[in-house]
Amino acid sequence: MKKLIIAATILCAAVGTAQAKEWKNVRIGIEGAYPPFSWTEPNGEVKGFDIDIANALCEEMKVKCTLVKQDWDGIIPALLARKYDAIIATMDITDERKKKVAFSDKYQHIPARFAAKKGTSIELTEAFMSGKRIGVQRATSMDTYVTDNFPKAEVKRYGTADEAYLDLKAGRIDYVMIDSAAISEGLLNKPGGDAFEFVGPKLNDPKWFGEGAGIAMRKGDTELHAKFNEAIKAIRANGKYKELQDKYFDFDIYGDE
Amino acid sequence: MGFDAIINWFGQIEYFQLLADEWPLYLSGLWTTLWLVAFSLFLGLFIAVPAGIMNNSQNWFVRFPAWAFIYFFRGTPLLIQLFLIYYGAGQFLANNEHPLALLLWPWFQEAWFCALLAFTLNTGAYTAEIVRGSINTMPSGEIEAAKAYGLSRYKIMSRIVLPSAFRRALPAYSNEVIFMLHGSALAGVVTIVDLTGAARIVNSRYYAPFEAFITAGLLYMLTTFVIVFLFKKWEARWHKHLKPLEV
């Protein structure tokens, strides 16, 4: 019995390493609730910039990709638990996350911003934000930023950005702080969105928001890491990236080279 | 894998670091859970007793409202009830100039109020059913005896039926209290930082779901243990007459 278990273990390990070198199949974790980067259509299909980027990169790497949907606050734990091999979900490359996962080079860089009812003022000081109700998505870099900088604010954490927009509309919170492109698409350009606007400056302090959004992978998977970096370079060079960007945005979302 | 892995895992300094850093968050989460559950159970009793009595009535007009209330709240999941109250209020009461909406919105605006209301109504319905069943199984001889003494209906209810019914409902009610404690984990979905909410924040900071949730799990277990202990004490006190005699 014991020998059988050992044999099985070796077999598993062998299969595991073989796959690690070949990477014919890559499972990619996505969120599916963060327009315009990823959203779920009524028929269950997932669409968005992240999804298109994932497919373009897989095509470039000549691997077969499977997309796996996962809620945001469990997206890193599920990667570590090998439910998938990479996360393409507009995840900011931050030092905090680097402790757990490895990141590819950035594939986009969009600043975070506050939004509120039209005419709301904002000052990014501890005193002004004291007692203000701020909605963020749990476990995002904006969550960390608000928690660190405004300890006296009332931070409300939501599972998805959409829930935060609902409570902003209802007046349960004074501000939301989310990716600026996500706010445009999910709140401002939606029906009823004209009552709201961006307030305050664009925020991209590397201390909280890192150097942009990258693809997260487990630390050991160095071949996959190299493959993704090459593929990002390739789609930047061959125009595929610009084509996808222009499909969703009317401005440059990559930032400085 | 197996036993060694578990021992290694507990040996990791990181977990104790996590506990050392985050225990205030867990404690405040536990406190939120405790008062939320305690208040909803307390307020729920004020719904449960009248609803339980009404549901036992021979009169259809008295019985129907209680029956419908119990049927609705036992027939739908607590999560749905919480969503209906929280997002329903957001949809219909917010930005509404109707005087009633203006009156109610300051309350419904607060997540804790929505959660308290949902939990109170929910536990009220379940406890009403416990009360009803307990009244139903009242030995008819006791009521006949009370009638023979010429007690009024109110006196029979308050002196004979309810005290006895409450005593007999105790074991079933301890279950309801524990269910409510665990059901309260849903409060986190409407932004309340209860014990589960605290665990989710810790998980999001450390990306360590097992560590984050096992801590919350142990605290829930500890609370349950205290509840079970208290009910055992109460049962020993109020069920003294039912204790088997020592020979």
Residue A172 has pLDDT above 80, yes or no: yes
Domain A18-109+211-248 and domain A112-209, same fold? Reply is yes
Domain boundaries, chain A: 18-109+211-248, 112-209
Alpha helices per DSSP H over chain A: 2-22, 49-61, 75-80, 95-98, 126-129, 141-149, 161-170, 180-183, 206-209, 222-237, 240-248
Give the pLDDT band (50/70/90) at residue A7: low
At residue A5, the pLDDT reads: 53
Mean pLDDT of A132-140: 93
B132 and A CB contact within 8 Å: no
Nearest to A54 by CA among A86, A91, A22, A100: A86
Task: Answer whether residue B246 is part of any domain.
Answer: no
CATH code reported for the domain at A18-109+211-248: 3.40.190.10
Q: Write the DSSP assignment of B8-71 as a string of letters.
A: HHHH-HHHHHHHHHHHHHHHHHHHHHHHHHHHHHHHHHHHHHHHHHHTT-S-HHHHHHHHHHHH
Across the interface, which of A143, A159, A172 has its CB nearest the CB of B109?
A172
Provide the residue type at B116 as one letter: L
pLDDT (0 to 100) of residue B13: 57
Question: Is the model's pLDDT at B51 over the cut of 90?
Answer: yes
pLDDT for A25 beyond 70: yes
Chain segment B197-233, per-residue pLDDT in tens: 999 999 888 888 888 999 999 999 999 999 999 999 9
List of chain B residues whose C-beta atoms are within 8 Å of the C-beta of residue A167: 90, 191
- Asked if B28 reaches chain A (Cβ–Cβ under 8 Å), the answer is no
Specify whether the CB–CB gap between B93 and B99 falls below 8 A: no
Counting residues of chain A whose pLDDT is more than 70, the rounded percentage is 92
Give the chain B residue whose CA is nearest to the CA of A172. Answer: B109
Query: Residues near B21 by Cβ (< 8 Å), separated by ≥ 6?
Result: none
For residue B241, is pLDDT > 90?
no
State pLDDT tens for residues B9-47.
Answer: 555 557 777 888 899 999 999 999 999 999 999 999 999
Please give the structure tokens belonging to residue A44.
């269950």
pLDDT band at A67 (very low <50, low <70, confident <90, very high): very high
* Residues in B 48-67 with any Cβ partner in A closer than 8 A: none
CATH code of B32's domain: 1.10.3720.10
pLDDT at A6 over 70: no
Extract the tokens encoding B8. Answer: 């290694």
Confidence of residue A18 (pLDDT cuts 50, 70, 90): very low
Binned at pLDDT 50, 70 and 90, residue B72 comes out as very high
Q: How confident is the model at residue A177 (pLDDT cuts 50, 70, 90)?
A: very high
Cβ pair A84, A54 in contact under 8 A = no
Length of chain B in terms of residues written: 247
Inter-chain contact B90–A76, Cβ cutoff 8 Å? no
Question: CA A111 to CA A202: how far, in whole Å?
Answer: 6
Average pLDDT, chain B: 91
Looking at per-residue pLDDT, the higher value among B79 and A4 belongs to: B79
On the question of pLDDT at A4 being above 60, the answer is no
Q: Do residues A209 and A94 touch, judged by C-beta distance below 8 A?
A: yes
CA atoms of B97 and A117, how far apart (whole Å): 18
- What is the domain count for chain B? 1
Let me know if residue B242 belongs to a domain: no
More confident residue, B240 or A97: A97
In a domain, B116, yes or no: yes
CA separation, residue A186 to residues A52, A159, B94 (Å) = 18, 15, 20
Question: Would you say residue B193 lies in a domain?
Answer: yes
Nearest CA in chain B to A80: B207
Q: B17 and chain A: CB distance < 8 Å anywhere? A: no
Question: Which pairs with CB-CB distance under 8 Å and at least 24 residues apart come from B66-72?
Answer: B66/B128, B69/B124, B69/B125, B69/B128, B70/B125, B70/B128, B70/B129, B72/B125
Question: Residue A251: its pLDDT value, please?
Answer: 84
Question: Would you mind telling me the total number of residues written for chain A in this entry?
Answer: 257
Q: Would an 8 Å CB–CB cutoff place A100 in contact with chain B?
A: yes
Domain extent, residue B102, equals 12-235
Q: Which residue reads 């927009």 in tokens?
A: A165
**B241 in any annotated domain:** no
Q: State residue A231 phi and psi, 5-degree precision.
A: -65, -40
Q: What percent of chain A has pLDDT over 90?
A: 67
Backbone phi, psi, residue B15, to 5°: -65, -40
In sequence order, the 6+-apart residues with CB closer than 8 A to the CB of B95 are: A169, A170, A171
**CB within 8 A of A74, min separation 6: which ones?**
B203, B209
Mean pLDDT of B179-192: 94
Cross-chain CB nearest to B94 (options A77, A158, A171):
A171
Amino acid A250: pLDDT: 83
Do residues B67 and B125 touch, judged by C-beta distance below 8 A? no
Q: Across all residues in chain A, what is the average pLDDT?
A: 89
Mean pLDDT along residues A20-40: 86
Q: Which of residues 34-73 of A touch B (CB under 8 A)?
A: 73
- Domain A112-209 belongs in CATH node 3.40.190.10: yes
Cis amide bond preceding B65, omega within 30: no
* Tokens of residue A56, six digits: 């373009």
* Secondary structure class of A222 (helix, strand, coil): helix
